[in-house]
Amino acid sequence: MAQKRSSSGPSQRQLRVGELIRRTLSDALMRGEVHDPDLNRISITVGEVVTSSDLRVATAYILPLGGEGAEEALSALRRNRHELRRLVSKAMTMKYSPELRFQIDQTFERMDHTRRLFENEQVQKDIAAPDEEE
């Protein structure tokens, strides 16, 4: 009898496909392969690509170098998503080319927020409190 997989995280295939798409997008953007001068003048980092379980949708988390002009970069990527999809599909040997979606990568903001929380005096007291009680 087939065993059901747990939905604890992405499958190995999802991870491999996401990484292939990330590298392909990064290379295409770095080399300026998209025919859009607005997009080619922005240096964009593709931090992660998350794919849906059926591999039909891929969400790329991006951030322009220095974090400035994120909305402009997002708009340019969304305008050129069909050309980017074509470039990605050429690099892949899959039955379907995934629909590309783009989001701003919030990872660095979350890390900064967490760092600020840990630097807070009250949080430092709370962290130290369990050790002092023992």
Q: What are the pLDDT tens digits along the chain (134 aa)?
A: 444 455 678 899 999 999 999 999 999 999 999 999 988 888 999 999 999 999 999 999 999 987 788 899 999 999 999 999 999 999 888 888 899 999 998 877 777 777 887 787 887 777 776 555 44
Domain regions of the chain by residue span: 12-105
Residue 58 near residue 65, CB atoms below 8 Å: no
Angle at the Cα of 89 from the Cα atoms of 48 and 7, rounded to 5 degrees: 45
Q: How far is CA 92 from CA 26, 55, 116, in A?
A: 15, 12, 41
Class of domain 12-105: alpha beta
pTM of the entire structure?
0.75
Spatial distance between the Cα atoms of 92 and 69, rounded to a whole number of angstroms: 30
